[in-house]
A = this chain, B = another copy of it.
Amino acid sequence: MTKIPYRYYLSEDEIPKQWYNLRADMKEQHAPIINPGTGKPATVVDLEPVFATKLAEQELDNTTRWFDIPDEVYEMYKVYRPSPLIRAYNLEKYLDTPAKIYYKFEGNNTSGSHKLNSAIAQAYYAKDQGLTKLTTETGAGQWGTALSEACSYFGIDLTVFMVKVSYEQKPFRKAIMETFDGKVIASPSDTTQVGRQILAEDPNNSGSLGTAISEAVELAVTTENCRYVLGSVLNQVLLHQSIIGLEAEIAMKNLGVYPDVVIGCAGGGSNLGGLIAPFMREKIVNGKNIDFLAVEPASCPSLTRGKYAYDFCDTGKITPMAKMYTLGSGFKPSANHAGGLRYHGMSPILSKLYDDGLMRATSYTQVPVFEAAKTFAKLETILPAPESAHAIKGAMDEALRCKEAGEEKTILFGLTGTGYFDMTAYAAFNDGTMNDHVPTDAELKPGFDSLPKL
């Protein structure tokens, strides 16, 4: 057999033409999302005021296995896809491991991350429905950048509520969103009722994803021809992100290999859910022995320390409630936390898989994650986003376990994006000023106290 190349690209006509909906193959479905107004499972009619109708349908559809990717979306995918499947030979050598390490790299587009896969889909469905405006929130900025790019392509006006602490720390994220004509507002802001209320209580509130979601939803439902879009957590987003896993699976099959372990970072779950989808099907449907590992930051440990409970998706408690692993919508990660992966909850699909024992989870503090990032950058010539570096750290530790055990496992991990907009965090790591604070139980308590009493 010829040696497997460092970088393997599918040909353009091998890019999957359908998204895969893992729910159609799950033995048990996650609990339904609840309309807090009625206390009953949300319907498409409930969701339509917030989401484009096709997206609301995708959100609730747990029986359609395959969704055709619309032509306009597929054409745009071809501009930056397929993404490479990379064999981490240099990392393997450095770790001196018998494990074979592969990663699917989604950072090769201007948005710098996998977020573009869903942004294009969501912007397209909005445009197709005749909508002219969208609103969203962004934390670290990856989603806001991707959606600005997608909206500028489809000619949609976009307003992005950016978590204030990120807005101030990352002026360049604002600049790139504005380059794609996105309108960026620091959240909490005085442009919404929920924002004004939060500022009245705490004028120095530095924001959270949950608050930014509340503001974005409020603006969407009070503006004509406008809807809200979200870059993670939702079932529709995991559906669109299945393109990552589908491409990875085709590429691995072409190369004659298959993963024993699939590892991804986990914030809201969009990348992880998309990456694992076709492999999880093999586990569920065909009983394949595949290990799945979610890696999250110790400062925002929704899977490893959260509760599996119904919670609001936003801090203002105006969204539907989902059953998920959550730290409570009132949770705010510590100010020293760099990068994304700062959402209080976790995708309902992933939460269910985790609760059913189909997936493991672990967490790391920041400093070892950045150590892994730096090592990786030197060996593999890609500067990872801090988010992605969690998956790297998980993969490195798994490869070292393989070394100890003498196992030649095949590891696949998701490298979701690049760290060019995270240099402040890298500088803090280089300067030794990054810290590894792990929230105490007392620090987690206010979040849990914010959980709805059902």
Residues of A within 8 A of B (CB): 5-7, 9, 11-12, 76, 78-81, 89-90, 108-112, 116, 149, 152-153, 171-172, 174-176, 178-180, 374, 377-383, 418, 420-421, 423-424, 426-427, 429-430
Contact = CB atoms under 8 A, between A and B. Distances in A.
A175 B12 contact: no
Contact of A382 (B7, B110, B153, B180): B110
Contacts of A180: 377-378
A5 B108 CA distance: 17
A176 B110 contact: no
11 contacts: A6-B79, A7-B80, A9-B9, A108-B108, A109-B381, A110-B381, A110-B383, A149-B378, A179-B426, A179-B430, A420-B421
Nearest to A6: B78
Q: Which of A9, A81, A110, A111 has the most CB of B within 10 A?
A: A110
A176 B383 CA distance: 9
A179 B377 contact: yes
Nearest to A374: B179
Contacts of A378: 149, 152-153, 180
Contact of A79 (B116, B179, B381, B418): B381
Contacts of A89: 79
A227 to B, nearest CB: 22
Contacts of A380: 79
A381 B116 contact: yes
A423 B175 contact: yes
A361 to B, nearest CB: 28
Contacts of A418: 110, 420
A348 B109 CA distance: 35
Contacts of A110: 377, 381-383, 418
B78 A112 contact: no
B112 A5 contact: no
Nearest to A176: B423
A160 to B, nearest CB: 15
A171 B116 contact: no
B427 A109 contact: no
Nearest to A373: B179
Contacts of A421: 420
A379 B152 CA distance: 9
Nearest to A2: B13
Contacts of A80: 7, 381
A7 B429 CA distance: 36
A102 to B, nearest CB: 14
A75 to B, nearest CB: 8
Contacts of A178: 427, 430
Contacts of A179: 374, 377, 383, 426, 429-430
A152 B180 CA distance: 35
B149 A5 contact: no
A421 B178 CA distance: 15
A172 B9 CA distance: 31
